[in-house]
Structure 1
């Protein structure tokens, strides 16, 4: 290489360094400038909306296929809602979706009045509403619905089937049912059906029992009437069953608490870490009586509000298992264009300001019901790793004990993450919750006692136990009330 070539290369290197340095000098002030924007300000929002409009116009002009602005806007709204990472906040793209939510909560809809369950692609009638049109038409519990208006429904889930049977008041729907091996067509005229949220009976001479299946718009009135009827029959104490109650209207739970509590707070509402409203008992409650409240892992939302109110005020003894842990309230909002969304607007906590969301309510007496076993659970259980290592895993540890514990926690419903064998944050939380429910020291370490309890719980779910089918929680409630 001659000197001239070397000199040219050298100048290129120097020039490149100068340009690189110059670019760095140009951009360096921007890197260290205070460019942090207030992403909560209205000005920021308006700027981003202009940006979004420009992008949508770009898509409309240059995308390879025709662009529908309505579709783009729905996707933007849905994306904004999903970014909250809140499974209870939903942007509805159809009126049917929002109407279904309202009907489920209110307990009133236009349909036939059937409660369905689905297993192995078979849709079975669990119960027939006593005031619904299906009963008058001759549908019975145990019937299997195989067609709706001639359409085979075996591929549908329960929710899809229910929506197919619902419709406008006065319209007809034909169900093809299977009963005792025989097919039969039953035509039903849809009516407005109101679901009963409360059933009640006496458990012996002096114990009244009220089952609350949901908190619809009439639940407080139904409770008041049920309680009065039981007292008239001689009830001196009460069992309130909130097991498998998914919640509903918060007002209903507050009103029932008000029927029981003579004084004190019922709940507090929190938005952005500030208590903006508190509900207190108004003093309308009648004479107090001993109460046991039954709860389980499916007791959620408004049910937990009521459970927390009675527990903190020592107005009831809670029996069962730790509740679901949904301590947030949603509101249906209608936008100017008519679109609807369900948005979580506040947290609710117990009178003593204990958190419910993601925590649940721990009962005073932890009691698990007997199980009958499951072939599906048994097949999983037989593949589980043994928890045979001597170590007692804590946060951050790995090993066979952790792997086996995750498998068992997943089977019994405490853990939903990946089975990794690593004691991560979610695994520690699941172990703590299990220990708490088992009345063990809840410190998140898989000690020998915890391993034994996990093994027993998983085995019982797979193979059943000696108390299979027994309602041990109800039995404990009756024991506490001295029956």
Structure 2
């Protein structure tokens, strides 16, 4: 009798388990189905709208349509519409240039420039050693006025000027140039050749204070940074100022390596995925810098540069001087290339500091405020390390820490 009861109980339990499994499967399947249908409907709505616009324009537009420009603009618009302000679309030309520069196939003439607002010309803010530009005597503070047959004034922004200067090794470019005194110089032809693009620049300043300008965080920055800091400490630096102004912090890995050299052992930063998963990005070793440190920042200090400054403040007691930073505390994807040679980058995670806190959107608030007046902002690229008021404030702050 008991055997029959046990069999009946077992059969009942089995039926219940099957019913529960079936119910769960149905719920999950329906959810997947609804999500798929919703996604299909949204895509269909998007494609239908684009198709309607396209039909109307092609039936009525007076001017000719450049198909490449249209496609690139549609793709750029898509990236603008996904509420990810760090997402970026690269046209096939822009992505080819990016890959070419990173691989060493394409190169500049050995200058960094900005589009000067007052003159419209390309103002030279950096001349690299052993480059074609340094060999012909181009100087910081000078202006490039023409590139080949094109006036720089017709170029829309700094990126367009930089693109015009790019070319393969061995090719030539003809430029006209004003020296820092605004005197026009004879046109020169430069042969593009390989040179080292440094990202870290140093000098001793003040009362044995080491000044370290980190222009960018790139693949070579970690090694450059360590060499630069060791050199200053060997020269007797009692304190260090790290200038991170206008550093957009493209390489998080380089920023982590540099921070690791400065801070004591411990977790430096983490990343958080969309599903909430948190991953440690780097745990530092025992090596640390024991002299007082200050990070000088501004509203263009972003990404890896913010990570570096935040890590030094939280883990090594460094102070932050300047103005609030950009608040770009995200992890970006590697460029995803597409069939036509274009590419896109999107946000894939949130940056967190060693305490699990995010600065995305809010930025870092300085410990010591150091702003520039309107006149000082206009003279920003005219300042030297000795005359720059923000650097002076950073040096004074760090030397006060020395005592």
Question: Which bracket does the TM-score occupy, shorter chain normalised?
Answer: 0.7 to 0.9
2:27 counterpart residue number = none
In 2, Cα distance between equivalents of 1:154 and 1:70: 25
- Structure 1, 349-358 or 289-298: larger mean CA deviation: 289-298
2:343 aligned to 340, 343, 347, which one? 340
Q: Counterparts of 1:286-325 in structure 2 under 5 Å?
A: 286=288, 288-325=290-327
TM-score (norm 1): 0.64
CA–CA distance in structure 1, aligned partners of residues 376 and 289 of structure 2: 45
Give the aligned partner of residue 231 of structure 1. Answer: 233
Q: Deviations over 1:152-199 (max 9, x none)?
A: 222323332221111222110000123463441100011244421111
1:161 maps onto 2:156 in alignment = no
How far apart are the structure 1 equivalents of 2:296 and 2:79?
35
Distance in 1 between the 2:53 and 2:236 partners? 72
Q: Would the aligned equivalents of 1:138 and 1:186 in 2 still touch at CA under 8 Å? A: no
1:266 maps to what in 2?
268
TM-score relative to the length of structure 2? 0.75
Change (3 A) 1:241 1:127: closer
Query: Alpha-carbon deviation of 1:369?
Result: 4.3
Q: CA shift at 1:72, angstroms?
A: 7.3
Distance 1:72 1:122, change over 3 A: closer
DSSP 3-state at the match of 1:481:
helix
Q: Distance in 2 between matches of 1:181 and 1:86?
A: 45
Tell me the matched-pair count: 355
Q: C-alpha offsets along residues 267-304 of structure 1, whole Å, 9 cap, x if unaligned?
A: 11112261431124241525633322222222211111
Relative distance call for 1:102 and 1:85 in structure 2 (3 A) is: farther
Question: Does the 8 Å contact 1:261/1:315 carry over to 2?
Answer: no
Q: Which residue of 1 aligns with 2:82?
A: 84
Q: Cα offset for 1:246?
A: 1.8
Structure 1 residue ranges without an equivalent (≥5): 1-35, 377-467
8 Å CA contact 1:81–1:91 kept in 2: the answer is: yes
Q: 1:96 aligns with which of 93, 105, 112?
A: 93
Q: Computing the radius of gyration over CA atoms, which structure comes out larger, 1 or 2?
A: 1
By relative contact order (CA 8 Å, sep 6+), the higher-ranking structure is 2
Q: Structure 1 residues 294 and 336 mapped into 2: Cα distance closer, same or farther (>3 Å)?
A: same
Query: What's the offset of the Cα at 1:57?
Result: 7.6
Please list, as runs of the form range in 1=range in 2, the aligned pairs for 1:45-444 lying within 5 A after superposition.
45-46=39-40, 49=43, 64=59, 77-92=75-90, 94-99=91-96, 110-117=107-114, 118-120=116-118, 121-156=120-155, 157-179=157-179, 181-203=183-205, 206-272=208-274, 274-283=276-285, 285-286=287-288, 288-331=290-333, 332-363=335-366, 365-369=367-371, 371=373, 373=375
Whether the 8 Å CA contact 1:107–1:216 is kept in 2: the answer is no
CA distance in 2, matches of 1:247, 1:103: 20
Give the Cα separation in 2 of the matches to 1:170 and 1:275. Answer: 49
Q: 2:302·2:325 contact (CA, 8 Å) conserved in 1?
A: yes
Cα-to-partner distance string for 1:33-61 (whole Å, 9 max, x where unaligned): xxx98799445444555676677788888
- Cα shift readout 1:387-408 (whole Å, capped 9, x = no counterpart): xxxxxxxxxxxxxxxxxxxxxx
Hey, what's the Cα distance between the residues in 2 that align with 1:76 and 1:181? 44
